Amino acid sequence: MAGLGPRPAKGYRVVLLGSVAVGKTALATQFACGSFPEQCEPSVEELFSKVIEVNAAPALLEIVDTVGAEHLVTLKDLYIKNSDGFVVLYSVCSEASFEAVRPLRERMGRLRGPKAVPLVLVGTKADLDAERQVLTARGRALAREWRCPFLEVTAKSKLMVDQVFTQVVREVEALAPPEERAPALPTHAQDTWPSERFIG
């Protein structure tokens, strides 16, 4: 039938937040490029984009990897205020990175005020069990407290990484006002909340 072309993709800006060396760039590169970077040169920010399908609806994701912006407070605050969704990361091999996510979440709440904070909590480097410092149960408990999805992943697995960003879109849609939601997303979009664990 004439006039029924592909549905335009709805855009989402998603910011990756977390301590240095938790795997933000590896996650973004695997998602957008389908590859795992063995070495990463830090910069202030990296931008990635990709169209995916979430519950039969196309979604254009702009991924902001804060990389070297950890110490640029004004820049990070701008990301938090003006983005649609967030991936908050810690490394399961770093107790310090896990402790750092709580003040980060509190800062997000202060900066966004009454605006919803659609986020997914992600424990990275889940394939490195011999180096683990943060038990899965602690990440799951924090996600229940924050009422958000929780995933443990390795950025070496494309399947795991894609699931992270699918969950972010679902969170954004679930918390959006009805008039701003993308069509065709079911009401049970949070069917994996509050936690999942992916180990390759």
- Domain ranges in the chain are 10-180
Rounded CA-CA distance 36/31 in Å is: 9
- Output the CA–CA distances (angstroms, integers) from residue 49 to 32, 59, 156, in the order listed: 6, 10, 19
pLDDT digits (tens, 9 = 90+) for 86-142: 999 999 999 999 999 999 999 999 999 888 899 999 999 999 999 999 999 999 999
- At 19, list the tokens: 């301590």
- Measuring CA to CA, which residue among 132, 70, 67, 48 is closest to residue 95? 132
The yes-or-no verdict on residue 42 having pLDDT over 50 is no
Question: What pLDDT does 68 receive?
Answer: 55
b/e map 126-140, b = 16+ CB within 10 Å: bbeeeebebebeebb
Rounded CA-CA distance 18/79 in Å is: 13
Selected from 3.30.110.30, 3.40.47.10, 3.40.50.2300, 3.40.50.300, the CATH number assigned to the domain covering 10-180 reads: 3.40.50.300
Percent of the chain past pLDDT 90, that is, above it, reads 50
